[in-house]
A = this chain, B = another copy of it.
Amino acid sequence: MANEDKQFVTEITPQDEDFSRWYIDVIKKADLMDYSPVRGCIVFKPDGYEIWEHIQEELDRRFKETGHRNAYFPLFIPESFFQKEKEHVEGFNPELPWVTEAGGEKLEERLAIRPTSETMIGHMYEKWIQSYRDLPVLINQWANVVRWEKRTLPFLRTSEFLWQEGHTAHENEQDAREETMRMLEIYRDFVENYLAIPVIVGQKTPSEKFAGAVDTYSIEAMMKDGRAVQAGTSHYLGTNFANAFDIQYLNRDNVREYVHTTSWGVSTRLIGSLIMVHGDDRGLALPPKVAPKQVMIIPIGPPKTRDAVVGRADELFAELKQAGVRVGIDDRGDIRPGWKFNEYEMRGVPVRLEIGPRDMENGVCVLVSRISGEKKVVSQDNLVEEVKAMLEQVHNEMFERAKAFREEHFYSVDTLEEMKASMDEKRGFTLAGWCGSEACESHVKEETGATSRNIPFEPEVTKTTCLVCGEAAKHTVVFARAY
């Protein structure tokens, strides 16, 4: 490796040295974001934003396929709305920014910037829903929301972030619970099969559920430092918001009843998650399905064959683009191929396509996987299929690696002592029995810094005693330190 390349690579702090610095180095260097002059708010630069656009396209397609439609509700929420649901106001009040003046006048009632829209949407649903014929209401919103966080981290926890929030209303508990689970499963499938991130699906403990929900379900992903990210949540809200906003309907027996509501959301923290799950000391590694560039073409060889090789590379570029592959080409003559290889590896481009003079003669080119480094010589005649197969392969490699990593860092413990040792000595998730008391749960947090992530639907083992009090375990819970 030439010096210039080596130096380049070492500009990124190694993950094992300082994972947080690695993360910041990578997202800055790969040009995904920049800090803004407003505390805790970032700028999504084009390469960062485009990841979000690909996430949006696919989720939006899946939401519509399951009968949901998009709508848009106001950014501002009157202060009185928050007072209507007790848990909700307690959960969100500390994080709200307040508009107190507008148009040169002091407002009579302060307006919060929405941290989530259950209250505003509850108010509107009360007007829209009269009878069972109006149900279900299946609405989603793509929007910015604001939570004034004390400690922020680009993508993963920012004061303003982008998300989607689904809000549905149903005739009864069963329909609403089915919806809650349907959306949770859409999230699981999307995050696993689109972002190549394996997740643990389960139910939040009461102390960790959404403020105002009856039950909250989540998918939890393991970052490469062993910490957890809650990658998506789906809430069964029961009749809590229906009560608060008086959303009643005339049922099939002509009796007035409260609707049952759900809400569910994922946000731009998915971008942070996929970086922390897949990235390595060489930089980003982007899942092919959301990568702004899926393939980067790099012509190689001596100056005398350069024009011919670049000419052929341009043709391959056009062919791949035509086939819907997001492809780039770097044909700059004054920059060495080795530097380019490192550059696009750092930027996380899933597949590199190399073509040189001998490849041209043989009618082939070389595809290189960002994950395994595997080099595959493929025929130019069959390029589109070969590239698509390689992208699929890279996706699978990413998922399998992430899954293997999670399995290596998944522990099972029986006592608090074991949990402490596990958290201090190893990175990862820990499965333990829990009696169901909030006291034991918060004791774990105080002693280890780990919170309950969820009660997995399919735990690998079932625990019989609580790791804190030793009483009979009600649940087997995943604990982890979390972002």
CB proximity to B under 8 Å, residues A67-82: 69-78, 81
Q: Given A36-B124, A53-B70, A148-B102, verify A139-B97 contact (CB < 8 Å).
A: no
Q: Is A156 an interface residue (CB 8 A)?
A: no
Residues of B within 8 A of A148 (CB): 102-103
Is the CB–CB distance between B99 and A97 below 8 Å? yes
Is the CB–CB distance between B43 and A73 below 8 Å? yes
Is the CB–CB distance between B150 and A103 below 8 Å? yes
Is the CB–CB distance between A38 and B71 below 8 Å? no
Residues of A in contact, count (CB < 8 Å): 52
Is the CB–CB distance between B45 and A71 below 8 Å? yes
0 or 1 for each of A125-166: is its CB under 8 Å from B? (1 = yes)? 001100000000001000110101110000000001010000
The CA-CA distance from A38 to B146 in the complex, in Å, is 18
The CA-CA distance from A128 to B146 in the complex, in Å, is 26
Q: Is A324 an interface residue (CB 8 A)?
A: no
Is the CB–CB distance between B44 and A71 below 8 Å? yes
Q: Is A206 an interface residue (CB 8 A)?
A: no
Is the CB–CB distance between A78 and B46 below 8 Å? no
0 or 1 for each of A43-61: is its CB under 8 Å from B? (1 = yes)? 1111001101100000000
For A145, the closest partner residue in chain B by CB is B75
Whole-angstrom distance between the Cβ of A48 and the nearest chain B Cβ: 8
Within the complex, which residue of B52, B73, B96, B144 is in contact with A36, where a contact is CB–CB below 8 Å?
B73
CB proximity to B under 8 Å, residues A14-56: 34, 36-38, 41-46, 49-50, 52-53
The CA-CA distance from A77 to B37 in the complex, in Å, is 8
The CA-CA distance from A94 to B52 in the complex, in Å, is 34
Q: Is A111 an interface residue (CB 8 A)?
A: yes
Within the complex, which residue of B71, B98, B103 is in contact with A102, where a contact is CB–CB below 8 Å?
B98
CB proximity to B under 8 Å, residues A329-388: none
Residues of B within 8 A of A72 (CB): 43-44, 49, 52, 162
Whole-angstrom distance between the Cβ of A140 and the nearest chain B Cβ: 9
Chain A residues in the interface with B (C-beta under 8 A)? 34, 36-38, 41-46, 49-50, 52-53, 69-78, 81, 94-104, 111, 113, 120, 123-124, 127-128, 139, 143-144, 146, 148-150, 160, 162
Top-9 shortest CB links A-B? A103-B148, A97-B102, A46-B69, A41-B74, A44-B72, A102-B148, A98-B101, A38-B76, A100-B100
